Structure 1
Amino acid sequence: MNLELYLKPVDFSGFELPKWAQKKYALSTLLEKNRDKIPVDKAKIVLIGVEEDRNAISYGSAVSPNKIREHLYALNRIAPRFKILDLGNLIVGQNPSDTYFALKDVCEYFLETGITVVILGGSQDLTFGISKAFEDRFFNLVTVDPKLDFQKGAKTIDSENYLNFVFKKHPNLFSHVILGYQNYFADALELNHATDLNSDTRRLGQVRYNMSEIEPYMRGADIFSFDLNSVRQIEAPGQYFASPNGFYAEEACQIAHYAGMADLLKIAGFFNLIPALDNDELSSKLMAQIVWHFIEGYYFRVVEDPENKPQEFSEFIIEMDDIDLPLTFYQSRKTGRWWMKVYNQNNDTDHVFPCSQEDYDLASRYEIPDRWWRNIRKLNQLAK
């Protein structure tokens, strides 16, 4: 694939570091050095900006990729030999659909090469373009958003209804999780519809109460889509939603760090920053730090698989009276993380999914975890 047909390279000379930054250790210095030394196919992770917001309900995020870079470049590098590249900005199409297809082509290429992609948006409907790269394979999606981004009967896509089109066009979407929604922005019928589509929803308070519980969702994800509107306005004024409630800045960074650590996560997108609304560039600085935490999480990623290396895991089997088979759990001896086995009776196959210690604790009290039910229901649907 000729990436030059899709991407405009970064001009590093156009980004001046602030006086407090240490140029020797700045991320921009590492990225500029890597551009000349590391071939694209040798990179571990790549950054791509997408200057597209024509389907947004509020314009202005198209200029955010370079604004994020301005503050991201000043932050310290993760490690001196980290194989990370900034490939510049995607060349947008004559219309948003053309941009979606170009984004699909680029993401598809990196899926095949096994390189993780970080998308600097742009509006969140770009998540639809990313999802098109998974048309021939099952995938899992995690979105961080104050609302559900479903709109019943929507005929044209925008940044507030893109999930309609993801679900409509992708029957191969295995699971979807919405983190941080706020109940006063979500109607009960919308929540029921999300359940019907096998989406799992976690309210802002649920996530905040036990942040570590979101880690299994991230570990099973292929796509991570972060909406800046999920952060409360006082900490991120550069947004159109402008809610007094939402994630705190450090919580947003922690979520991104979990996403970066996720074993299977292939593409992460960061969307809906509007620099024109950004007082003192606070939101741009925060988005840069959120992206930085994702990159750091990726650097410390530990890939584990109970099926391929069972000797590295402890196995726990719990007999359940309510079902005709035991629940099997695995715990990593290295990281302490948990997985559960789900047996699909329709085709006599086993599937292992990420889970939490809370799931194991529930099973130990002879209560079947919701995560087990959701996975077995989806497997049964796919087998029909």
Structure 2
Amino acid sequence: MSKIIMEKPNVLNNYTNLGFQNYYCAIEEKDLMDKLYFEGIRLGQVLDDTQLVEPVFRDADIVGFDMKCLSWEATADPLKGQPNGIDSRTICALSRYAGISDRVGFIGLYELPSTPMMNQLAAQIVWYFIEGVQYRFDEYPVNIKEGFLKYSVTLSDQTIVFYKSEKSNRWWMELTNDTHLDNKIKTSALIACTKNDYESTVNDFIPERWFNAIKRIN
């Protein structure tokens, strides 16, 4: 993982590690992710609520599935796969999210065992990606001037602005670059989020995804 992040030329704006398991991750790699404010979502979180990771795909340009992440049930082979891992249904759902994303332009399947069952699963993953492409909403780049509802949430020390699409019911958060001394040339951008991020902000909790993104641009 560190090679992906640090290899020159380094042009990564963000990197997200989905479905990681702590006992397989080196402390140095986790520290590097934290230092760069990159995102990591643990396996349990992905399995408990697949919708949690949809915004990650919405903001992604490249998606790669390391098939070693699959559980042995998904591989149909106790000698391959992990005791705990992503199941076949979940990885197909993730592939569909990648397809629906207006930004994703490349998807890759890696470390794919050559077995009849895995060949079928790979075909289904590709099928769900293609199906997702058919349901894209054409909302990138986001045009907040048309078909979006704006919500401003005032916290104890700042205000976070949210936008909800009337077309897809999806949510975004606004990021503002505060490094400029002249307020007239401040820049802003949008980052995908969930309704839960909005609701947690209403309850005076800053979404982790917003916090990491702000740290990356400021």
Question: Could you state the TM-score of these two structures normalised by the residue count of structure 2?
Answer: 0.90
Counterpart contact for 2:36–2:216, Cα < 8 Å: no
The alpha carbon displacement at 1:166 in A equals 4.6
Runs of 4+ with deviation above 6 angstroms: none
**Pairing 1:192-203 to 2, within 5 Å after superposition:** 192-203=31-42
Counterpart contact for 2:58–2:103, Cα < 8 Å: yes
- Per-residue deviation, residues 84-140 of structure 1 (Å, max 9, x unmatched): xxxxxxxxxxxxxxxxxxxxxxxxxxxxxxxxxxxxxxxxxxxxxxxxxxxxxxxxx
| 2:170 alignment partner in structure 1 | 337
Question: Could you state the TM-score of these two structures normalised by the residue count of structure 1?
Answer: 0.53
Q: What code does the residue aligned with 1:222 have? A: D
**Pairing 1:71-90 to 2, within 5 Å after superposition:** none
Counterpart contact for 1:239–1:272, Cα < 8 Å: no
Counterpart contact for 1:316–1:329, Cα < 8 Å: yes
Query: Out of 185, 189, 211, which is 1:351 matched to?
Result: 189
Q: What code does the residue aligned with 1:249 have? A: S
**Pairing 1:103-118 to 2, within 5 Å after superposition:** none
Query: Out of 181, 203, 207, which is 1:365 matched to?
Result: 203
Q: What code does the residue aligned with 1:298 have? A: V
Q: State the percentage of identical aligned residues.
A: 31
Question: Hey, what's the Cα distance between the residues in 1 that align with 2:28 and 2:162?
Answer: 34
**Count of paired positions:** 213
The alpha carbon displacement at 1:306 in A equals 7.8
| 1:249 alignment partner in structure 2 | 88
Equivalent position SS for 2:44: helix
Equivalent position SS for 1:254: helix
| 1:210 alignment partner in structure 2 | 49
| 2:105 alignment partner in structure 1 | 266
| 2:28 alignment partner in structure 1 | 189
Larger Rg: 1
| 2:157 alignment partner in structure 1 | 322
Which structure 1 segments of 5+ residues have no match? 1-148, 151-163
Equivalent position SS for 1:343: strand
Question: Hey, what's the Cα distance between the residues in 2 that align with 1:234 and 1:359?
Answer: 33
Question: Hey, what's the Cα distance between the residues in 2 that align with 1:170 and 1:354?
Answer: 26
Q: What code does the residue aligned with 1:183 have? A: N
The alpha carbon displacement at 1:257 in A equals 0.4
| 1:297 alignment partner in structure 2 | 132
Question: Hey, what's the Cα distance between the residues in 1 that align with 2:179 and 2:154?
Answer: 21
CA RMSD of aligned residues (A): 2.0
Counterpart contact for 2:72–2:79, Cα < 8 Å: no
| 2:183 alignment partner in structure 1 | none
Q: What code does the residue aligned with 2:122 have? A: M
